Amino acid sequence: MNHYAAWKNTLIVLFLFILGLYALPNLYGSDLAIQISGSGNYEVNKRDLDKINDALSDNKVDFKSVSLEDKNILVRFNDSQSQLSSKVLLKDSLTRNYVIALNLAPSIPQWLSGLGGKAMSLGLDLRGGVHFLLEVDMKAVTTMAVDRYYNELRAALRKDKLYKKIRKDDGLLIVSFKSEELKNEAKKVIKKDLPDLVIAEGSEQELELGLEISASAQSAAKLGALKQNITTLRNRVNELGVAEPIIQQQGTERIVVQLPGVQDTARAKEILGAVATIEFRMVDEKNDVQTAIQSGKTPSGSKIYKFKDGRPLLLKTNVITTGENIVDASSSMDENNQPSVSIVLDSSGGRSMLDTTKEFLGYRMAVVFIENQVETVMEDGVAFKKRSKTQDIINAATIQGTFSNRFQITGLDSAREATNLALLLRAGSLSAPVEIIEERTIGPSLGADNIQKGLISVLVGFALVLIFMAWRYRVFGLVANLALTLNLVTIISILSLIQATLTLPGIAGIVLTVGMAVDANVLIFERIKEEMRTSKNIQKAISSGYEKALLTIADANITTLIASIVLFSFGTGPIKGFAVTLTIGIITSMFTAIIVSRAIINLIYGGKKVEELAI
């Protein structure tokens, strides 16, 4: 009685040893570092490592080490001044194939990292940085879908001249026909070629057909826009050079963006929220823009656009190519030392540009910058979305020679504008406007302060529980304290192994777990006391105490576990962080409080004649 087999004790010790080993990385600090990774499809290699090492050595920079880790080059430093100066140096010396970001690199010994040991990931509230919650304008997604189907419907029905007129009316596409026969024929074509368009209920009239996008197609369009925006935002963040960003979906319309280490919120907002692209159009040289403005009649096939200073210009409605055809863009200075953006188009855009420049040599071509924005405004106490679209001409230059997929855009106001435009064009355009509805900035000093206060809260709660248990239950209390210590180590090791992000709410979950972990031991010890009052057999009292308290402990922990799983499933952000640590803590506390403490009690009292228990 009260005896574990040798293999069982060995298994428990081995399991605890492994967990302790993987908790070790958290005892080592972090080095100030610079992370260099490849831009786009480029991957850094040994040659890049040697190049960076030589650049730092030639400039006599004080650094600890340079290493290639997980397709990234990490340069570690002893102080922040060397780190910051090296970032400027590397940014100037390396090409655009690289993304350079400030980072914190765990200083784990080689033998431990070789075993897969990693420190816990720290959340934004512990590391410092900026947090954005962006909302995708789903109404704009629907509007764009209606516009797309409008063009497809016209193309499908134009082949056999089936329709008289097509118009858009509040999300519906209204098609007019000359006869019932043409209408019936059009229905067959729509059903075959455009299955996502369905007849809207109550909209069909004698020679008219009201069509709407099916619910499934609308849902697919919205989900696609959300996923595309996440991809684009990730590309933009990579271009900004942020190490270990978090970009993830929240609900059906929102995206969470967390940028550790970033403190320039204005720059981050400018890049993340921009829904921008460009279009290349020919200038209408045959018609006069002032005549069009005065008469109020725009020539067919043309449209009035304006430069940023308000000057109007007539441009052709036919688009030569757009930002979607751009595969690369970089900012630079032209021969006149003015800011410019060098553009590289894909094969389709290159062919279109080559054909245009051949045909219209000596004519002017304009570059139009298009940006969509959405913001929430209050009017009469009611919040509504205000959408705006700006279309500014960047420049209108004469085509002096034929070119295809490589050329420059000039006429930009500043080097910063050129840099931002190049970044946006490289990363791609957002498929739908987004609005930043929540913004939080956490400074690095506040993050360090949060870590310190969180650590103090854990230690104080831990110490008070240890004192109470030792005073109340004596030897059994000390056993419970040892089990509680092992429980804390187990939680840390599991968080490190699964690389769960530790946040302030997560620390709260650990503090709560510290208090709850001994609850199982309290139930067991009180049950042992009850058994001792009714039976003089000490060994039987210990055995019965553990066995009879087990069901109560399981019930209590399972109900808490269900609640924490629900929190994780339906919660977001901080709530998930709390739920993760609480869930892990509940599972590990049952292991340490029941199995580990029982093994220790067995070693102390098992198989011995005991007259009295120190409990």
DSSP state of 25: G
Residues 74 and 13 in one domain: no
Give the residue with greater pLDDT, 615 vs 77: 77
**Lowest mean pLDDT, pick from 15-19, 305-309, 313-317:** 305-309
The domain in which residue 369 lies consists of 276-429
Contact 377, 383 (CB under 8 A): yes
Residue 523 sits in a domain whose CATH number is 1.20.1640.10
Residues 178 and 70 in one domain: no
Q: 192 pLDDT exceeds 70?
A: yes
Q: How confident is the model at residue 373 (pLDDT cuts 50, 70, 90)?
A: low
Q: Residue 69 falls within a domain, yes or no?
A: yes
Q: How confident is the model at residue 381 (pLDDT cuts 50, 70, 90)?
A: low
pLDDT, one tens digit per residue, over 68-112 is 877 778 888 887 778 778 877 887 777 656 777 777 777 788 788
Residues 593 and 481 in one domain: yes
pLDDT, one tens digit per residue, over 415-474 is 777 777 777 777 666 667 777 788 777 766 666 777 788 788 888 888 888 888 888 888
Residue owning tokens 């005892």: 27
User: What pLDDT does 229 receive?
Assistant: 81
Q: Residue 249 falls within a domain, yes or no?
A: no
Q: 21 pLDDT exceeds 80?
A: yes
Burial of 309 (0-12, 13-18, 19+ CB in 10 A): exposed
Residue 301 sits in a domain whose CATH number is 3.30.1360.200
Q: Residue 182 falls within a domain, yes or no?
A: yes
Q: Residue 212 falls within a domain, yes or no?
A: yes
Domain count, the chain: 4
Please name the helix (run of DSSP H) or strand (run of DSSP E) that holds residue 446, with its range, or none: helix 444-497
Q: Residue 265 falls within a domain, yes or no?
A: no
**CA–CA dist 531, 138 (Å, integer):** 65
Burial of 310 (0-12, 13-18, 19+ CB in 10 A): exposed
Among 19-33, 353-367, 438-452, which range has the highest average pLDDT? 353-367
**CA–CA dist 232, 247 (Å, integer):** 10
Residues 595 and 472 in one domain: yes
User: What pLDDT does 177 receive?
Assistant: 83
User: What pLDDT does 441 receive?
Assistant: 72
Q: What is the mean pLDDT of residues 548-563?
A: 84
Q: What is the mean pLDDT of residues 521-542?
A: 80
Distances (CA, A) of 195 to 198, 509, 572: 7, 51, 37
Residues 484 and 377 in one domain: no
User: What pLDDT does 258 receive?
Assistant: 83
**CA–CA dist 271, 490 (Å, integer):** 42
Secondary structure of residue 338 in the 3-state scheme: coil
DSSP state of 325: G
- Mean confidence (pLDDT) of the chain: 80
Q: Please identify, among 219, 237, 252, the residue that sits at the C-terminal boundary of a domain.
A: 219
Residue 157 sits in a domain whose CATH number is 3.90.1070
User: What pLDDT does 267 receive?
Assistant: 62
Q: What is the mean pLDDT of residues 316-336?
A: 81
Residues 294 and 417 in one domain: yes
Residues 457 and 597 in one domain: yes
Q: 234 pLDDT exceeds 70?
A: yes
Q: 264 pLDDT exceeds 60?
A: no
Q: 263 pLDDT exceeds 60?
A: no
Residues 417 and 328 in one domain: yes
Q: What is the mean pLDDT of residues 259-270?
A: 66
Q: Residue 124 falls within a domain, yes or no?
A: no
**CA–CA dist 126, 432 (Å, integer):** 32
Q: 563 pLDDT exceeds 70?
A: yes
Q: 213 pLDDT exceeds 80?
A: yes
Residues 500 and 600 in one domain: yes
User: What pLDDT does 276 receive?
Assistant: 64
Amino acid at 47: R
User: What pLDDT does 510 receive?
Assistant: 83
Residues 36 and 20 in one domain: no
Contact 93, 55 (CB under 8 A): yes
Residues 506 and 567 in one domain: yes
Residue 85 sits in a domain whose CATH number is 3.30.70.260
Nearest to 245 by CA among 262, 232, 229: 262
Q: What is the mean pLDDT of residues 144-166?
A: 80
Q: Please identify, among 397, 429, 461, the residue that sits at the C-terminal boundary of a domain.
A: 429
Contact 553, 590 (CB under 8 A): yes
Q: What is the mean pLDDT of residues 41-64?
A: 81
User: What pLDDT does 1 receive?
Assistant: 64
Residues 95 and 142 in one domain: no
Q: Residue 474 falls within a domain, yes or no?
A: yes
Q: Residue 70 falls within a domain, yes or no?
A: yes
User: What pLDDT does 195 receive?
Assistant: 86
Q: Please identify, among 49, 84, 107, the residue that sits at the C-terminal boundary of a domain.
A: 107
